[in-house]
Structure 1
Amino acid sequence: MATIKDVAKLAGVSVGTVSKYLNGFKVKEKTRIAVEGAIKELEYEPNAYAKGLKTNRTNSVVLIIPSIWHPFFSELTYYIEQTLREQGLKLILCNTRDNLDAEIEYVTMARQNKVDGIIAITYSNIDNYITSDMAVVSIDRFFSANTDFISSDNYRGGYLGAKVLSQRGSSVLAYVGHGSSYENDTTARLDGFKAYCEEYDIPYHLCYDSDSRKEYQNRLIEFINQIVSGQIKVDGILTASDTHAFNVYELLTQRNIRVPEDIQLIGFDGSQQSYSAPVFLSSIRQDVPTIAKEAVACLLERINDRNNNHPVVRKKIPVSFTEGKTTR
């Protein structure tokens, strides 16, 4: 295996010059061509660990997500990993399954400089473990005044969902979903939904809380049964996520309620199930590639800002409506 000394010898330069080139310092054009030619000929692979010791960088970033099984988190992971790889960085995935201890472990790694930074989607209480000198970008959850924050325009998404249902003929709407007990920006979806309904005097019902998932599911079943029995009139439903929408769809069809003929249904996320599968669920689409790009860009600025002069970022990414087979 070739060494940096071999590269320097073949290129006719010093080891220090090769090291400068590898660490991103500017060298003469003639020198650059010679070094790159030697690296290619010798198939030299720089020692990333040794380089990291010199630059105080590991070239690795942690992504904290609640679950890889959730389509939105899976798609976001794909685009974040792709964007990091384009920047020469490695992704360490922390699939927490809402485990607070696992999240704290990875945050501690960042504090101890074992990773360069963190992109976090967490609905746990890790606020006390985030310090102002850490490179952290949060998605959907606001931590502190010093933490960069990227989110879809959730309020606009809720407003848009209610608008589409209404304009396509639904007269009594409902919002269905299960939220976190910790404050996060996704709750703005409900606020936007209510704002549209109240602005246009559209009656609506809510089946939304932050109790345990079991309690929520029991409440949802009762809510659907009330619709089926006629106790509650609903002909248009917006849900907090696509996962909730598929759950509602299953419960409705099991009870011979036709979607979208009897009740229109819109989810929230619009995540791609695959590149080739046709879109089934009508949904408010989050622009996942842009969220990933913005999150990585913010994190890199934070990592490279050794003097901590990086202005705090607050970005809302626009959403759109994706039509499927669950709306008319």
Structure 2
Amino acid sequence: MNTTINDIARLAGVAKSTVSRYLNGGNVSEKTKAKIRKVIEETNYEPNSFAQSLKAKKTNFIGVIAPTLDSYVTSTVLMAIDEELRKQDYTTLIISTSKHIDREIESLVSLSRQKVDGIILIATGMTEQHIETIKTIQIPVLIVAQEVDQFNCIINDDYHAGFEMGQYIADKGHQVVAYLGVTESDIAVGQKRKQGILDGLAEGGVQEVKVFRSEFDFQDASRVTEEMLCHFQPTAIIGATDTIAFGALKTLSRLGKKVPEDISLSGFGGYNISEVIHPALTTIRYNNKETGKLAANTIIRMTNGEEAPQLQVSGYSFIEGESVKNVKS
């Protein structure tokens, strides 16, 4: 009876994919190589050259394109992706784009030329150029954090998270509210999260809401808050992210305003530091680890030619801190 690759894997005590990598010159430790080599010599195993050539088309490399590496949310998702892929004998190639959309396009093309099996794109926005590039490269691409009709996507439940935060602020009696949002080219945060907040506030009967635009970074949020306070005096500020909320907090502290005594504050992200600062920030924490694990398993299914859901939605938790005051009379 002919010895198969499954037999080699069983006798060597390794995964079938590890034997496949060894046969195709992939990355295998010297100790494992020695075990596999010994079994092959003892069984006189001869690889089927046609089958091996087919296997060689699969590299077991997955490319991941991330907007930044210093974000708590992104880094948590990335670590979960990498950990899950490693468990299944895949290697992760991570590219950071520093939040430049043109670099996302370049990275999609670059990774496809490196013959990765699939790509996970943690997107900051989706343009027509993104869509055309993904169609052109003919490699499975999974979009994380943005929803696009044509592709497989995993998103946060931004609308309902925003709605819950809006309702919460309204329930605390705030009638004059500022929302520090981001560009609408970011569909998830710039559009859906914002709309959820506005709808939640409206349903709660909030009389006056003004939207201001910030970049995602701390310093710009601080600047926007200072400019806003020159002509608008809200009793509550909602930041589109915890980082934006921290930027607002910096300005409020410098101006001698206390949170929540003078102005209430909330955000989205659920960073660890949000619970450490005083007062602890009221925020939304997304299930980032679960998102990363889900992304890894989904892209593996896609590279194997298996069916994968077009849209998957990751959940969240509401974290009530001490930064929102009840102003009901």
Q: 1:63, 1:119 within 8 Å by CA — same for their partners in 2?
A: yes
- The answer for the alignment partner of 1:221 in structure 2 is 226
Compared CA separation, residues 58 and 100, structure 1 to 2 (3 A): same
Q: CA deviation at 1:98?
A: 2.4
Per-residue CA deviations over 1:56-91 (Å, capped at 9, x if unaligned) read 211111111111112211111111111211222111
> Once structures 1 and 2 are overlaid, which stretch shifts more, 120-129 or 150-159?
120-129
Aligned residue identity for 2:317? S
Q: CA deviation at 1:110?
A: 4.4
**Is the aligned partner of 1:165 residue 2:173?**
no
Q: CA deviation at 1:188?
A: 0.7
Structure 1 unmatched runs, 5+: 1-12, 22-26, 227-231
Per-residue CA deviations over 1:307-327 (Å, capped at 9, x if unaligned) read xx7354212222221133423
Compared CA separation, residues 120 and 208, structure 1 to 2 (3 A): farther
Within 1, Cα distance between the matches of 2:220 and 2:139? 37
Helix, strand or coil at the partner of 2:139: coil
**Is the aligned partner of 1:96 residue 2:72?**
no
Aligned residue identity for 1:116? D
Within 1, Cα distance between the matches of 2:12 and 2:199? 60
Compared CA separation, residues 128 and 215, structure 1 to 2 (3 A): farther
Compared CA separation, residues 324 and 195, structure 1 to 2 (3 A): same
- The answer for the alignment partner of 2:80 in structure 1 is 79
Q: 1:138, 1:148 within 8 Å by CA — same for their partners in 2?
A: yes
Helix, strand or coil at the partner of 2:285: strand
Per-residue CA deviations over 1:2-61 (Å, capped at 9, x if unaligned) read xxxxxxxxxxx97x53xx12xxxxx5xxx765x125x79xxx995275369642211111
- The answer for the alignment partner of 1:60 in structure 2 is 61
Q: 2:177, 2:237 within 8 Å by CA — same for their partners in 1?
A: yes
Aligned residue identity for 1:191? Q
Aligned residue identity for 1:203? Q
TM-score, length basis structure 1:
0.76
- The answer for the alignment partner of 1:3 in structure 2 is none
**Is the aligned partner of 1:36 residue 2:12?**
yes
> Once structures 1 and 2 are overlaid, which stretch shifts more, 203-212 or 106-115?
203-212
> Once structures 1 and 2 are overlaid, which stretch shifts more, 242-251 or 217-226?
217-226
Q: CA deviation at 1:183?
A: 4.9
Per-residue CA deviations over 1:136-188 (Å, capped at 9, x if unaligned) read 1111223441x1111111001111111222333433222112225x2522221
Compared CA separation, residues 317 and 63, structure 1 to 2 (3 A): same
TM-score, length basis structure 2:
0.76
- The answer for the alignment partner of 1:47 in structure 2 is 22
Within 1, Cα distance between the matches of 2:169 and 2:101? 37
- The answer for the alignment partner of 1:193 in structure 2 is 197
Q: What is the aligned-residue RMSD (CA, Å)?
A: 3.3
Aligned residue identity for 1:134? I
Q: CA deviation at 1:134?
A: 2.4
Within 1, Cα distance between the matches of 2:149 and 2:248? 35
Aligned residue identity for 1:84? L
Within 2, Cα distance between the matches of 1:311 and 1:117? 13
- The answer for the alignment partner of 2:108 in structure 1 is 107
Within 1, Cα distance between the matches of 2:220 and 2:281? 25
Compared CA separation, residues 256 and 32, structure 1 to 2 (3 A): closer
**Is the aligned partner of 1:318 residue 2:315?**
yes
Equivalences for residues 126-141 of structure 1 within 5 A: 126-131=130-135, 133-141=138-146
Aligned match of 2:209 in 205, 211, 214? 205
Q: 1:155, 1:189 within 8 Å by CA — same for their partners in 2?
A: yes
Per-residue CA deviations over 1:109-144 (Å, capped at 9, x if unaligned) read 444461111111223532220118421111122344
Compared CA separation, residues 185 and 212, structure 1 to 2 (3 A): closer
Structure 2 unmatched runs, 5+: 27-51
Helix, strand or coil at the partner of 1:320: strand
Aligned residue identity for 1:303? T
Equivalences for residues 197-276 of structure 1 within 5 A: 197-209=201-213, 218-226=223-231, 232-273=232-273
Equivalences for residues 145-164 of structure 1 within 5 A: 145=150, 147-164=151-168
Compared CA separation, residues 272 and 64, structure 1 to 2 (3 A): farther
Aligned residue identity for 1:321? F
Helix, strand or coil at the partner of 1:151: strand
Q: CA deviation at 1:247?
A: 0.5
Per-residue CA deviations over 1:293-320 (Å, capped at 9, x if unaligned) read 2212221111111xxx735421222222
Within 2, Cα distance between the matches of 1:301 and 1:195? 37
Compared CA separation, residues 199 and 99, structure 1 to 2 (3 A): closer
Q: 1:75, 1:271 within 8 Å by CA — same for their partners in 2?
A: no
Q: CA deviation at 1:291?
A: 1.1
Q: Percent identity?
A: 23
- The answer for the alignment partner of 2:48 in structure 1 is none
Compared CA separation, residues 193 and 60, structure 1 to 2 (3 A): same
Q: 1:109, 1:115 within 8 Å by CA — same for their partners in 2?
A: no
> Once structures 1 and 2 are overlaid, which stretch shifts more, 132-141 or 54-63?
132-141
Within 2, Cα distance between the matches of 1:61 and 1:250? 40
Helix, strand or coil at the partner of 1:253: helix
Compared CA separation, residues 101 and 324, structure 1 to 2 (3 A): same
